Amino acid sequence: MRALLVEDDDRIAGNVRRALETVGLSVEHVHSGEAAWFEGGTQSYDLIILDLGLPDLDGLTVLKRWRGEGIETPVLVLTARGTWTERVEGIDAGADDYLPKPFRMEELIARARALIRRAGGRGGARHALGHLSVDLNQMTVAVQGIPVTMTPLEFRLISYLTIHRNRVVPATELLEHLYGDDDKKEANALEAIIARLRRKLGGSAIGTRRGFGYFLRGIA
């Protein structure tokens, strides 16, 4: 379940990304209209979150182009100014839903879920790979069917790795995800959590790429 986030403001983007990821979406983020136009046109997404106020190519233009090309991905439009005309424009251009800033993250999530559901993509908050299964709703993790209790940090870490299962996640990114970038912890804190996770999940669940980061592998 992948989402494309088009937003030039990094602060907002960070929040949105975190919110979406907690409900099990894997989020790709681009800052500009051009990049969005390219990403959305070449990759397959289950949902696109589109901010209208972009530096280069206008969001509405991008949206119209997509629709013109027959791309049917559900699009949720964000905009600063919530005027009536703009809303109509957005709907006319092919937006599936519309959300004026500022908005509450819960609302964004609710609407995102609704869009995905309507599009027929069943919101799968349940991931399984190999002998490992992660349920983002119940916040449970099971190895070979038997449940394993997780502490908050451990769960957030395994969730993040699960959502980004297909790539190596840099340690810095994990640290940023677990603690707001402000908190300064010894780098060792992450390693400690990884160690505890490995003990619970079995040693081979989490792999290390020395100098880069960590990745999840199905347990063989």
Partner DNA sequence: CTGCATCTGTCAGCGTCCCGTCAGATTGGT
Partner DNA sequence: ACCAATCTGACGGGACGCTGACAGATGCAG
Q: Which residues, in sequence order, are CB contacts of 43 under 8 Å at separation 6+?
A: 2, 4, 28
Does the footprint of DNA cover residue 144 (CB under 7 A)? no
Q: Does 87 bind its own copies (CB under 8 A)?
A: yes
- Applying the rule CB under 8 A, the residues between 23 and 82 that interact with its own copies are 34, 38-39, 42-43, 56
- Report in angstroms the alpha-carbon separations of 121 from 73, 125, 133, 147: 11, 12, 20, 27
In Å, how far are 5, 61, 71, 178, 210 from 68, measured between CA atoms? 20, 10, 7, 40, 46
**Tokens 């081979």 label which residue?**
204
Neighbours of 167 (CB within 10 A): 11
> For the purposes of burial, counting CB atoms within 10 Å of the CB of 130, is it exposed (0-12), middle (13-18) or buried (19 or more)?
middle
78 near 7, Cβ under 8 Å?
yes
> How far, in Å, CA of 124 to CA of 184, rounded?
34
Residue 85 contacts which entry, DNA, its own copies, none (Cβ below 5-8 A, type-dependent): none
Q: Which does 186 bind (CB under 5 to 8 A by kind): DNA, its own copies, none?
A: DNA
Identify what 43 binds: its own copies, DNA, none; CB under 5 to 8 Å per kind.
its own copies
The single residue among 12, 125, 142, 189 that binds DNA, judged by CB under 7 A, is 189
Q: How far is the CB of 137 from its own copies (least distance, A)?
A: 4
* 188 near its own copies (CB under 8 A): no
Is 118 among the residues that bind its own copies (CB under 8 A)? yes
Site for DNA contains 192 (CB under 7 A): yes
19 lines the binding site for its own copies (CB under 8 A) = no
DSSP helix/strand/coil, 29 = strand
Residues within the interface to DNA (CB under 7 A): 149, 151-154, 171, 178-179, 185-189, 191-196, 198-199, 203, 208, 210-212
Residues within the interface to its own copies (CB under 8 A): 34, 38-39, 42-43, 56, 84, 87, 97-98, 106, 111, 114-115, 117-118, 137-139, 151-152, 155, 166-168, 173, 209-212, 215
